[in-house]
Every structure is written in C-alpha cells, then in structure tokens.
Amino acid sequence: MLIKLLPPISALALALLTGCATTSPVVSKAQDGWDFQQSPQELTALCDATLAQARTAFSSIEEDTSPATLQSVYGAYDAMTRGLQDIQHVWYVKSVHPDTNVQAAAEGCITKYIDFATSMELSPRFYQRVASIDTAQLKPAEQLMVQRRLREFRKSGVDRDEETRNKVASLIAEITELGTQFDKNIRTDGRVVEATPEELAGLPEDYLASHPPNAAGLIEISTDYPDLYPVLNYSESDDLRRRLYIASKSIATPANDSTLRALIAKRHELATLLGYPSHAALAMDGLMVGSPQNAQAFLEEVGSAVKRPSAKDMEILLARLKQIDPDADKVEVWQSFYLSNLVRQEDYAIDAREVRQYFHFDRVQSGIFGMTENLFGVEIVPWETDTWHDSVTAWEVRENGEALGRFYLDMHPRENKYKHAAHWTLRTGLKNGKVPLSGMVMNFPRGLMEHRQVETFLHEFGHLLHNMFSGSQEWLEISGMTMERDFVEAPSQMLEQWVWDYDTLKHFATNDHGEVIPESLVNKMVRARHFGEAAATSQQIFYANLALNYYNRDPDSFELLPLMMEMQAKYSPYPYIPGTHFYNNFGHLHGYSSNYYIYQWSLAISTDLFSRFEAEGMTNTRVAREYRRKVLEPGGSLPAAEMVENFLGRPYSIEAYKDYLNELN
C-alpha cells in the first residue's frame, strides 16, 4: 500500500547519533516526487502524453531551417529532453513497484521511450543540424558535448541508407524486449531451500529468531541476500550451504537460456550491421578503455598481478578445509565464505558475528548520512512525500538551506523486487533547473547487517551522491552522471574505504547497549580485511572475462555453458558447480553487457584517487570538498581522465592498483 510517509529518523535524531551540525528537526515538504499511486492506466497515459509532446518538439527541431547554432539546435533539444525526464522514473518503477501491473506498464513505457530515442539517433535531419554547428567559439564543455553527440550519431548508423536505419531500429526494439525479459526472469524467480534446525547450527541468534520452523518442523531459507549470506558465512552444515548456493545460481534457469542467447545474437547482429566486428567493440567505442583488445589487455594485467596472492588465499582455505575433511583436495565456492570466516576468527581473532552486532541497519543509515554531511558540508533531512511501499523512506540533501537534490531509499527485500543493490538516476539536475532525483535499492535485513553489506551501502550511496552533486551544468547532456561509463564506478568504489576507518565508524557503529565498536576490533578488521581479497578479485576477473567473451565474437561460434566453464577454469579460483547456470542470473550481462570490466577499471582509478585521502586524511574536509568540486560536480562536462588529473595533479595510473594487488597477503 502506498502512503504519505515521514521517514522515522528525524534530523535531530540524526544529529544525536552522528555528531553532525544539524541542531533542529527539519522536514522537506517539497512537491517534487512522482505520483506512485498512479494506476497502470494512468502511468501509461502519462508516458504516452510525454512522448507525444516530445515527438512534436523533435519534429520542430528537425524541420527548423534557421542557421544551426548551439542555441537554435541544443536549446530546443535540451528543452525537449527536460520534458522527457517526467518519465525517467519508469526504469526504477519496473524494478521496485509492488504492483506487477504497474511494473508491466513501466516496462511498456520503457519500450516506447527507447523506440523514440532510437528514432532521434537515426534522424538524418537532426544529425545534419548538429553537424552544422560551428564549434570554434564554443566553451570546451560545449565542444565536448557536440563531439560526443556526433560520435553517438555515427555509432547509431544515422549516416546509413534508410533500409539500414530501419533495420537498426527494429533490432534495438528486439534487444530492449529481450533485456526487459531477462531482467524480469531474474526478478521474479525466488528460490527456497528447506533446512532442519540442526543445519542452522552456527547462525546468529537474531537470524534464528526470525526464521521459525514451519508446520513440518523445517526452516525455509530463501535466496534473497539477507537469508543467503548469513547461511554461507555461519552455517556449520556444508550440505545446506551447497544446496542454498546452487539454488541462488540456478535462478532464471531455464527461462533465461534462450533469452540470453537471443540477446547476445541480436546485439552482435546490430554491431556488425553498423560496421563493428562485435558488440563489445560497439559498446566500448568512446569509453576510456577504447576497445575490447584494450579491455582484455587490462584484465590480463590485473589478473597477472593478483594470481600469486590469489593462489595463496586458496592454499590457506584448503589447509583449513582439510582440518574438517582430510580428504579434501579443492575448495568449492560455497565453502569459501564459511572457511574465510573461520580463518579470520582463528588467525586474525575476528568473528563476523561479533562484528555485526555493531551494525544495525538504522544506525548504519544514520551514520552514513552523518559522514556525508561532515565530509561534504551538506545536510540530509527527511522528505515528506508519497512512496510506493511503507518501508521506503525519502530524503533531501541541502546546502546552506537550499535543496541540492532528493532521493528515495528502498532498502529491504520483498516479493517481485529487484534482487541486488543498485542506484537509479530518476532525474538529472540542471543549473537554474530542477534538482537531481535518485532512487536506491538494497536488500538488507532490518536488523543487524554484515560489515560487507555496510560497504555495499556506501558503494551505492556513492552513486547517489554523484548524482546529487553533479546537477549544476547548463546542458542536460553534460550534467549528472554523463561521463564515460567506465569511470562511473570509481567514485563509489573509493567511498567504500570509509567503512574501514575507525574515526568514521565510531560515530555510528554501536551495539544494542550503546557501546561503541572498540578501536581494537576495527584494527583487527583492517588487518583481516585483505585476507581473501585476492581470490575475490580473481573471481571478478572471471566475471569480467565472461561478459567480454560472450560479446566479443560471433555468437554462433560458442555455447553459453561450455564457454563459461572455459572462462571459469582459466580465471576463477573455484571450480564449476555441475548443474548451475550462473549466466542466467548474472544481471550485468544485460545492463553492462560486455563491459563488466568497468568494475576493475574503475577500482584501479579509485585506488589512485584515494591516494590523496590516504596521504592527507580521510576526515580532511578540504580534500573532500576539493574532490566534490573537481571530480563529482563536473558531471560529463570534462573527460574523466581530465577530472582525475585535476584532483591528483597528475594523470591517472593503474600502477597503484597493480602494486596493491601484488602486495596482498
């Protein structure tokens, strides 16, 4: 049910928890959100009306015969795209709304939206108008905006004959439909494993209390993250961990077998039609990495740097497994979580169950808000607005009493909701225009969290802050998170570092008795932090190579499962689990397609960015606000490499990341 919601944690409570500058309760009543109580028919009507208005405006742009200037072309185009932001939220709605009919209406709107966007990219008259702009006297950001648009035009095939353009439009429509179905199959397929009470030996008391036996005396454990990871970490039953992990990697199987094959095939067909050798080549054109060959070379460099420390991680895990099973000759992935926890307890005196008592969801959220306020000089206050579910909260970011942006937090699992963690830009902010609007999704427990989940919170909140702070450009096309997509993860990955900083944690990491997490415990956490990191990085290298190799070749030349097994054998520290089809629930194969390398690429850059905070202090507000000004605020108005250089005082390098990986263990 949708309700008028005032989030439960007031600004005053936030101040008491975090020691931030807020001194009195403040609530925003801005009428700035969407009507989430709309029926499916009303959402469809809004979509159709918005797109009809945009089509009319775009026809006027195409038919304009006045001299092509930035104002005459981009002024009208920018006004039209601002109007389109009225339905930008449909991508979020289809992932979070509890009414499946509303989700279906949002999916239908997305299809129509992409059809219209494709028609713009394939408009020869619009292309000619943009190409006719004299850029010599434009500001550098405006020149970059026009250059990027012309490149996207060429990538779309706008300069091809009408038959080719029609074929491109048809293929994009098919790809959109397949991608929507791929996501839906993952979102709607929840798996459950039954366990005996004995198999839950080792689980924390709060977990056991929230999972009572059913009428048959069995406990139902879902593959949702709050159920899944505590079992993997703590259950003493190897069989339960195995069954639950297999269930989690069997989601959307067999439904996505044919869907993914068709999605890969259609993307390849589109790429070759446009003159590219593969979808990966098309997808990487204009990004920092530049080409699939460069991406592969980068992954090989990183993989080589992490190979020795990854092997060391696996040796330690296998030695610990042999204490349990002397005949063991390899570590399976479902065993790695439990074994890693044992090693941290025994070798580093870290018990994750002890750590988690200091990370209750409400306190974590308040603490992350307080950290943000202190570092960046802003205030986060509740926003009283309609939402789509009673567990959703809404907030406003202010600076000097003025709104910088607003956001929604949908943080706990429920049926039919997006299963992972993500941030959506619901609206891009503009100078002298509307403020940014974001939506974040998590699947966290309502009580105690794993420290790793706190890290995930910070990661996605980093994306949200990027959108909040980057809404100050004059043109929509270079405002917000419009920089190269393989830079987008870097600021979020850098923000994860603060979850390991005692001076940050001491403000909110408290147990139910109000006791602050001991500094000695945080020091032990930091010492144990890097154990297993190399193996986890190798697993990420496997994922990146899987995505790249699904999309860098003719799809008729391979089958999904054999190629995945080949990539896993080459790059992953863990063997393939017979009967699983991970690719069917690897959602990034739709969203990022070939470009999952982005996470490692961005991590290399974030390591370089963090070097300044490491040298000058993680609570150094001068550095934090310089970072905000030079890296976050420019949006897409500068090449990403230039933003990083402006902050570091030198060009970025991946050497710091390679050195970091080499030194693990």
Task: Decide: helix, strand or coil at residue 448.
Answer: strand
- Burial status of residue 313 (CB atoms within 10 A of its CB: 0-12, 13-18, 19 or more): buried
Cα-Cα-Cα-Cα dihedral of 38, 40, 43, 44, to 10°? -160
Instruction: State the burial class of residue 664 (Cβ atoms within 10 Å of its Cβ: 0-12, 13-18, 19+).
Output: buried
Reply yes or no on whether the pLDDT at 14 is more than 70. Answer: no
The arithmetic mean of pLDDT across residues 617-636, rounded, is 97
Examine domains 1-31+354-517 and 277-348+530-665 and report if their fold is the same: no
Q: In the chain, where are the structural domains located?
A: 1-31+354-517, 190-248, 277-348+530-665
CATH fold for domain 1-31+354-517 = Collagenase (Catalytic Domain) (3.40.390)
How do residues 43-60 score in pLDDT, each as one tens digit? 999 999 999 999 999 999
Q: Reply yes or no on domain 277-348+530-665 having CATH 2.40.110.10.
A: no
Average pLDDT (92-101) is 96
**Residue 464's pLDDT band (boundaries 50, 70, 90)?**
very high
What pLDDT sits at residue 6?
Answer: 28
pLDDT digits (tens, 9 = 90+) for 221-242: 999 989 999 999 999 999 999 9
Instruction: Decide if pLDDT at 16 tops 70.
Output: no
60-64, 270-274, 658-662: range with lowest mean pLDDT:
658-662
What's residue 663's pLDDT? Answer: 83
Round the average pLDDT of the chain to a whole number and report it: 94
**Res 309 pLDDT > 80:** yes
Angle between helices 598-616 and 640-648 (to 10 degrees): 20
pTM higher than 0.85, yes or no?
Answer: yes
Contact partners, residue 631, CB within 8 Å, separation at least 6: 491, 609, 643, 644, 646, 647
